[in-house]
Amino acid sequence: MELGIAIRGWLGLPPGVWPPDHYALLGFAPGEGDVGEIEARVLDRMELLRPHQIRHPEAVTEGMNRLAQALVCLTDPVTRAAYDRHLGIAPAPFEVVDDEPIEPPLEPAPRSAARLQNLPYEVVADDEPFGEVLPDERAETRPVAVARIVSSAQARRAPKPPKLKRRTIYRRLAALRRVSRAWDALRPVLGTPGEPLATPVAVFAFLQALTDARVAFPGAAFVLGPAPQPGGLVLALVREASAPGTVRGLLPSQREAVAQDWHRGHVLLQRERAALRKLTRRLRRGRTCRAQLGRLLRAVPELVLVLLAALLLLGAAIVRHR
């Protein structure tokens, strides 16, 4: 009972018998609240319990388990209907609406157009000529036409890798560390194609992982993107307002696709993190060389005069050869 009094005070609930029903625990009237509202309310109330977790671990665990049980029950239509019957809540009456007008069937497309729609790619005319004929600039007596074929593949230069400042590299590396931790926390549900969210403990862990992921993922926009990029499906599920309900409603084939996408995103994050670590090691080597050179010049000041003299001699030799 003492645990219930503490939890009621933290959640702002009126005094009463503990535990209350799921609707009262979430602050809803009996039978109210859709899936999105229920999940948002559970997340808000978990945030109210989280600051007391260190001093009152038993009470916070009890409150979070009750919230997870309410989420599992009220976001599943079958279990919610049975729970409402147990509370004596009458089911919502059916609504009679007018029949929608039946649209006439679409006319079949011409056979030629159907063939074009089924093509895997689009055929367009070449915008650039395959070859260009130019006069030979070296010919003096008579013009000689020389065919210079320039392929479009050679004309297009490969994009250069972006140049990153040192501060940007370390900022991205710190963001990737947070994203990798949040990504790994999603593995039990999104990285495994089994039956997810079967217990309140699993729901609570998934809600915590979702909260951390929604905070961390915007910092990795330079590597994570929407589908079909690796991790795009996981990113879309994390952004869903009713992510637990969406995950529980996935078909086995869809869960398998999400698990594969989680693993592809995991590989992408590890690869990007390894590339940034390589850049940081290169920066450290350059900084170490500069530091050693600075110490050497401070220890032997005469070396500066020797280097200046060598540079002057080199410059004079270059001017003389010109």
pLDDT at 136 over 70: no
Q: What is the pLDDT of residue 130?
A: 37
Structural tokens at position 261: 């996408």
Supply the Cα-derived Rg of the chain in whole angstroms: 33
pLDDT at 298 over 50: yes
Average pLDDT for residues 171-185, to the nearest whole number?
91
pLDDT at 132 over 60: no
Instruction: List pLDDT tens digits, range 72-113.
Output: 888 888 888 999 999 888 876 655 555 555 555 444 444 443
> Which residues on neighbouring strands pair with residue 132, listed in sequence order?
148
Instruction: Identify the residue with better confidence: 241 or 29.
Output: 29
Instruction: Give the E-state strand segments of the chain in sequence order.
Output: 132-135, 145-148
| pLDDT mean across residues, the chain | 75
Average pLDDT for residues 191-217, to the nearest whole number?
81
Those residues with Cβ within 8 angstroms of residue 98's Cβ, 6 or more apart along the chain or in another chain:
none
Confidence of residue 119 (pLDDT cuts 50, 70, 90): very low
- In this structure, are residues 132 and 150 in contact, taking their beta carbons and an 8 Å threshold? yes
Q: In 14-56, which ranges are continuous DSSP H helix?
A: 22-26, 35-49
Written as one letter, the residue type at 291 is A
Only one residue has tokens 């011409």, namely 110
pLDDT at 164 over 50: yes
The most confident of the ranges 39-48, 137-146, 277-286 is 39-48
C-beta neighbour count of 86 within 10 angstroms: 9
DSSP characters for 172-222?
HHHHHHHHHHHHHHTHHHHS--S----SHHHHHHHHHHHHHHHHHGGGGTT
Q: What is the pLDDT of residue 161?
A: 52
Enter the pTM of the model: 0.56
Q: What is the pLDDT of residue 296?
A: 61
Distance CA 145, CA 168 (A): 52
Average pLDDT for residues 192-208, to the nearest whole number?
77
Structural tokens at position 16: 């009463």
Average pLDDT for residues 210-217, to the nearest whole number?
89
